Amino acid sequence: MIKRFILISAILSFLVPLSSQALAQEDTIEVIMKTSKGDIVIELYPEKTPLTVENFLTYVDEKFYDGTIFHRVIKGFMIQGGGWTTDFVQKQAYEPIRNEAETGLNNRKYTFAMGRRSEPHTAAAQFYFNSVDNPHLDFKSKTTEGWGYCAFGMVIQGTEVVDAIAAVKTQTKNGLPDVPRQTIEVISIRRK
């Protein structure tokens, strides 16, 4: 009887931490992005895109995004930021991460996703908001053309701010197209 009690206690002591870890993984994480156009609250999905969320939160916790700008706005498509300072200097990011676009999260309007170069596994710090549904950015296959772009969050407050940024007039600046004529700053991003 005592051996059975000890065995059950041992099993329970092992399972309790596992269940609390499982609960923690199910919890969503929210961040608040303060911009010069207003605040945006984003819900992140660590259970679907753990590597991407961890990468993004590393930059958030290090205050990497403070004083960056939305450097690319394409009307009827998306708004991109997280890579350039208000002085239009490109920030040095960490090594790129593996693309998690195959998780089934789609690039719908108001989703939050990782920017990258043309190669699939080159996302580092830059992010974008989809200002419309962009199914052509979704995962289709594990090929260079089919990988897609990893959506890892959703705007839950501040869609009007995303819309206001998406509507700004743009120009070519320092050789980059689609730069807002009026600087739109990311003042800070913090966990909520």
pLDDT digit string, tens, across residues 166-192? 999 999 998 999 999 999 999 999 999
Which pLDDT belongs to residue 78? 98
- Judge whether 118 lies within some domain: yes
- Judge whether 15 lies within some domain: no
- Judge whether 86 lies within some domain: yes
- Judge whether 21 lies within some domain: no
pLDDT in tens, the chain (192 residues): 444 434 444 443 444 343 334 434 557 899 999 999 999 999 999 999 999 999 999 999 999 999 999 999 999 999 999 999 999 999 999 999 999 999 999 999 999 999 999 999 999 999 999 999 999 999 999 999 999 999 999 999 999 999 999 999 999 998 999 999 999 999 999 999
Return all residues near 12 (Cβ < 8 A) that are at least 6 apart: none
What pTM did the predictor assign? 0.86
Q: Which amino acid is at 116?
A: R
Q: Which amino acid is at 92?
A: Q
- Judge whether 20 lies within some domain: no
- Containing structural domain, residue 178: 27-191
- Judge whether 9 lies within some domain: no
- Residues, the chain: 192
d(CA 178, CA 161): 18
Return all residues near 22 (Cβ < 8 A) that are at least 6 apart: none
b (16+ CB within 10 A) / e for 92-122: eeeebbebbbbbebbbebbbbbbbbeeebee
- Judge whether 87 lies within some domain: yes
Strand partners, 78: 74, 130
- Judge whether 13 lies within some domain: no
d(CA 122, CA 22): 29
Closest CA to 87 of 65, 72, 68: 68
Strand partners, 52: none
The CATH number of residue 93's host domain is 2.40.100.10
Q: How many domains does the chain have?
A: 1
Closest CA to 82 of 127, 46, 47: 127
pLDDT digit string, tens, across residues 140-165? 999 999 999 999 999 999 999 999 99
